[in-house]
């Protein structure tokens, strides 16, 4: 049986792949919005049903593009904050100074992998919200798909203990 090793090179490849997948999802959000916008009716849903309230409808406007804009801003903001303020600070502290350079680099790559994987699920949430608004505007839906929406959040929350376990296993080696 072949032994799998958590090398910095393998982690870097997965980080590059996950980063590209995120960029693709952000692009899909914008392309879908630009494609759908001319096909929307004159009165569009701007927000979905929340807490039993009616759908908030407005005259067709560029406010529709708030969804891909929010997705893009969240993508850049979250990735910047986590990478620059959390990961770099976490692995430059005295506690991690006891780790050798290669081990510290692998832990940093593991953190980046978690970041980009989590962002994929956040991007899917934004795309789902945008799709729900389009379906509401077209009269083809009544609300978000709650099972899909909560499943994405559930998977996102399950990633946290998964990566904590992976990190602990890595540190034991």
Task: Give yes or no for a contact between 102 and 144, defined as CB atoms under 8 angstroms apart.
Answer: no
Q: Give the range of the structural domain holding residue 34, as residue numbers without chain letter.
A: 8-172
Phi then psi for residue 50, to 5 deg, are -130, 130
Beta bridge partners of 58: 44
| Residue 40 falls inside a structural domain | yes
Count up the domains in the chain and report the number.
1
Q: Check pLDDT > 80 for residue 141.
A: no
43 within a domain of the structure (yes/no): yes
In a domain, residue 1? The reply is: no
pLDDT greater than 60 at residue 1: no
Cα–Cα dist 79/46, whole Å? 27
Backbone angles phi, psi at 61, to 5 degrees: -150, 180
Tokens of 35: 């494609």
Taking only the tens place, the pLDDT of each residue in 48-96 is 665 556 677 778 888 889 889 999 999 999 888 887 776 766 655 545 5
Q: Buried b vs exposed e over 19-37: b needs ≥16 C-beta within 10 Å?
A: beebeebbeebeebbeebe
pTM assigned to the model: 0.77
Whether 2 is in a domain gets the answer no
């Amino acid at each position: 049986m072949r032994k799998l090793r958590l090398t910095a090179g393998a982690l870097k490849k997965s980080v590059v792949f996950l980063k590209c997948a995120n960029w693709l999802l952000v692009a899909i959000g914008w392309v879908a919005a630009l494609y759908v916008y001319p096909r929307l009716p004159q009165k569009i849903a701007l927000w979905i049903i929340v807490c039993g309230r009616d759908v908030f409808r407005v005259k067709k406007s560029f406010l529709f593009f708030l969804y891909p804009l929010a997705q893009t801003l969240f993508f850049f903001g979250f990735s910047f904050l986590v990478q620059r303020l959390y990961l770099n600070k976490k692995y430059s502290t005295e506690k991690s100074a006891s780790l050798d350079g290669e081990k510290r680099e692998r832990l940093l790559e593991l953190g980046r992998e978690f970041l980009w994987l989590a962002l994929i699920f956040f991007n899917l949430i934004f795309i789902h919200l945008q799709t729900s608004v389009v379906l509401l505007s077209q009269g083809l839906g009544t609300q978000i798909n709650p099972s899909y929406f909560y499943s994405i959040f559930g998977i996102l929350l399950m990633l946290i203990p998964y990566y904590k376990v992976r990190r602990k296993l890595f540190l034991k080696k």
